[in-house]
Amino acid sequence: MKNITLIILLTFFWVSCSKPEPEPVLNTNSGCSEAIILDSDFYQNGPDEEELIIQEASIEGDCMKLKASYGGGCGDVVFKLVTIGIQLKIPNHPVRLSLDDDDNCEALIWRDLEYDLTPLQPLGTGQVTINLAGWPDVLEYNY
């Protein structure tokens, strides 16, 4: 009887920590998974995870594509790309990747993320220079 209980408990633990990553839902016109958020308050006060590392960053068309890693594996996490809003006088537009991490596990997890940058187009210049927090190079968004 003890062996059966142990097997059931181990099976439950294994299943609860091996959730598949959710498939992104396309909700923008550009074909990216999510749109960038223009919100100064969220930019400064929103969730932030110190262990989040941006491994790759690029802009393809209207999408910013990121590869990020963080410690987790068995809880829910929410990524958001956020900026301070539209500011005409800023040469490098500050942007950061926010991670709301409700996950106490420590496995190294990699995620591919895409964000629609078209909300930045009202700047009207045809080009936005993006300073992504945690990324050493500036990124040019041409539209």
Amino acid at 66: L
- What radius of gyration, in Å, describes the C-alpha atoms of the chain? 18
Please give the CATH number for the structural domain made up of 21-142: 2.60.40.2370
d(CA 97, CA 136): 14
Does the model's pTM come out above 0.85?
Answer: no
Q: If you search the block for the tokens 């223009």, which residue do you land on? A: 38
**Distance from first CA to last CA of the chain, Å, rounded?**
66
Q: What's the pLDDT tens digit per position in 15-25?
A: 344 433 333 33
Domain boundaries, the chain: 21-142
Per-residue pLDDT of the chain (143 residues; tens, 9 = 90+): 554 543 444 344 443 444 333 333 334 466 888 999 999 899 988 887 777 999 999 999 999 999 999 988 888 889 999 998 776 666 678 999 999 887 778 889 999 999 999 988 876 678 889 999 999 999 999 98
Contact between residue 138 and residue 92 where contact means Cβ atoms under 8 Å apart: yes
Q: What's the pLDDT tens digit per position in 23-40?
A: 333 344 668 889 999 998
